[in-house]
Amino acid sequence: MPLHVVVTGAGGFLGHHLVGYLKARGYHVRGVDARAPEFAASRADEFVQADLRRADEACAALEGADEVYHLAANMGGMGFIAFNKAVIAHDNVLMDANVLEAARLGGASRLFYASSACVYPPALLDAEHGPPLREEDAYPADPVDGYGWEKLYGERLCRHYREDYGLETRIARFHSMYGPLGTYNGGREKAPAAICRKAAVAPDGGTVHIWGDGRQTRTYCHVDDGVEAVHRLMRSDVRDPINVGSDELVTIDALTRMIIAASGKRLDIGHDATGPQGVRGRGCDLTRARTLLGWAPRVPLAEGMRATYDWIASDIAARAGAAIGHGDAVPV
């Protein structure tokens, strides 16, 4: 009999890819989300639309699960989390508590929790090329306001459910996942997808505008590498939180030039000091992942960004063609 697993957040970017990864490895997968995936049909054996902020719906959605992969969250890029702290904290605390309790009541043996690099104190991130973040750097606690605090509390809630109830929990702190089939418009998109969109719609000889001075540094991990790390973590005995990301640090300007090269266009870079810029630098220490999971990212950033740009440009073109065919205005 295949292992029956539930993936919450299966309508979202990472959850959608994780469903496909688990299906390819023989799991029976139930996807759960408030909405279906936007860009491609789910490969889940069954897909349940549920509001996990409601305890009764969470219990029904997780019924019969051997294991739970909890990725559902109200979140987005810096432009979203900077201005929606209350609703993010409210919704995610409810979902985390309800899913953990539903997993316990339903007899699940193991639960994965998707945490975030936002649990790390911004005071450690005020240098463009500072030391990469180690897992122990999350304490003393002072995470990013709203989203970061909620994720750190979620980690602690997982620990308590393991200690008090014996539910084996595994926690990954994701550092900026990217790839095809992710949101690239509407305000919740993250930097790589937003820059790809801007490059795709810009005319040759135009300008790609980015927030900040472009010298901020980040790391980006391709979604294919991320879901492999999640699976390895769930099959491991690693109970403490672990970084999942890349240690290839790049400036936002360098990322933008990489995406412009993928577009094949002649584009300039413009800087907008009025938008949220986030921290100055955020690197990722993968020592624990390499040592304990035998995992490291394999997709080179330039290669992954080219594939991501190609998918976003293709989707924009397809939607524009469909709109023109129906006589509608094409959104920019």
Residues 6 or more apart in contact with residue 166 via CB below 8 angstroms = none
Structure tokens at 144: 């990013």
Structure tokens at 25: 């490895």
Catalytic residues: 147
Structure tokens at 49: 């639309």
Return the CA Rg of the chain. 20
Cα atoms in the Cβ-side hemisphere of radius 13 Å centred on 209: 4
Give me the phi and psi of 102, to 5 degrees please: -65, -40
197 C-beta neighbours (distance < 10 Å), count: 21
Alpha-carbon gap, residue 273 to 135, rounded angstroms? 31
Strand, coil or helix: 167: coil
Alpha-carbon gap, residue 101 to 99, rounded angstroms? 5
- Give the residue among 171, 155, 188, 192 at the shortest CA–CA distance from 35: 188
Do residues 301 and 245 touch, judged by C-beta distance below 8 A? no
